[in-house]
Amino acid sequence: MDAKMPQDATANNNEQIAYWNAVAGLTWAELQSVLDRQIDPLGREAQRALAARDGERILDVGCGCGQTSLELAAQVGRSGAVVAVDVSRPMLEVARARQRASAALPLEFREVDAQSEAFVAGSFDAAYSRFGVMFFADPIAAFANIRHALKPGGRLCFVCWRPLADNQWMRVPLDAAHPYLPAVAPPDPHAPGPFAFADATRVRGILVAAGFVDVRIDPWEAEIGGTDLEDAVKLACRIGPLGAAMRERPDLMPVIGGAVREALARHLRPTGVWMAAAVWIVRALSGVS
């Protein structure tokens, strides 16, 4: 496979494309405002690391419901441009509705697969992602394709989750539900999913194999939340590892919902439920082709 431009990669992501156009995409679209508030500080730290400049063209990979795309478009100004890509039609519908309220921003949303899309070579100054790059069937091919889209020396910056054990906001509700869930085999830690990039050594290897240089991976932590208790319970039971388990066993919701509510109530403050999140802030340069 050409390291610059992956071939015949589209079919590899069919499972994820179907997933993000069905249950997951619909859930994220429905809960967009709560989720944006939850993960906003993590995405903003990655934007700080990217340091978008006036007049730049930026590729927003896995843009979801468009919050980060709108923010990046404001940063590059009228002389710049943001192309925001995702495979999830339900989430892009939300993103485009939000864009219509900010029509002056230099922003375009595209329903494409960043692993296989034929981007114009060297057409972007930088690529960014907030939790949108952990779902590729072939991550080396995907990042090689993203690198192909960047100018020589172009910047890549994304934020991804560190291990589940380090992420209190997902671990606490899952631990509360665990006694009531049927035993399942441990998932493949490298399979497409939220924690596919939890191993920083693996992430570095993927980026180097894709042709990136000057790879830097920094740990970062923050408390996230601010939702009321009922919204926190709903969020915990519909996304992430527990959300996946609940889709398999919705009949367990009465007992598990109660256990999760009790666990999250211990983290309730006057301003809402707050818990620790742990991420990697990943930076790299495209090198010279």
pLDDT digits (tens, 9 = 90+) for 153-178: 999 999 999 999 999 999 999 999 99
Has residue 205 got a pLDDT over 70? yes
The SS3 call for residue 183 is coil
Task: Supply the pLDDT for residue 98.
Answer: 93
Tally of CB atoms within 10 A around 51: 12
| Inter-residue contact 126 to 50 (CB < 8 Å) | yes
Cα separation, 157 vs 50, in Å, equals 6
Strand pairing category for 57-61 and 124-130:
parallel
**CA-CA distance, 207 to 219, in Å (whole number)?**
17
Confidence at 7, pLDDT banded by 50, 70, 90: very low
What is the pLDDT of the chain when averaged over all its residues? 93
Report the predicted TM-score, pTM, of the whole model to 2 decimal places: 0.93
Can you point out the beta strands (E) in 74-212? Answer: 81-86, 107-111, 124-130, 150-161
Rounded to an integer, the average pLDDT of 198-202 is 98
Give the pLDDT of residue 289: 58
**What is the C-alpha separation between 264 and 177, in angstroms, rounded?**
12
Collect all residues with Cβ–Cβ distance below 8 Å to 248 and sequence separation of at least 6.
Answer: none
Burial class (CB in 10 A: 0-12, 13-18, 19+), 58: buried
Percent of the chain with pLDDT over 70: 96
Grade residue 2 by pLDDT with cuts at 50, 70 and 90.
very low
10-285 CATH fold = Rossmann fold (3.40.50)
Say which residues have a Cβ less than 8 Å from residue 5's Cβ, sequence separation at least 6.
Answer: 118, 144, 145, 148
Residue pair 99/66 in contact (Cβ under 8 Å)? The answer is yes
Q: List the single range of 1-15, 217-231, 237-251, 270-284 with lowest mean pLDDT.
A: 1-15
- Listed by start position, the domains of the chain span 10-285
Rounded to an integer, the average pLDDT of 131-155 is: 97
Residue 177, H or E segment: helix 168-177
- Rg of the chain in Å (alpha carbons): 19
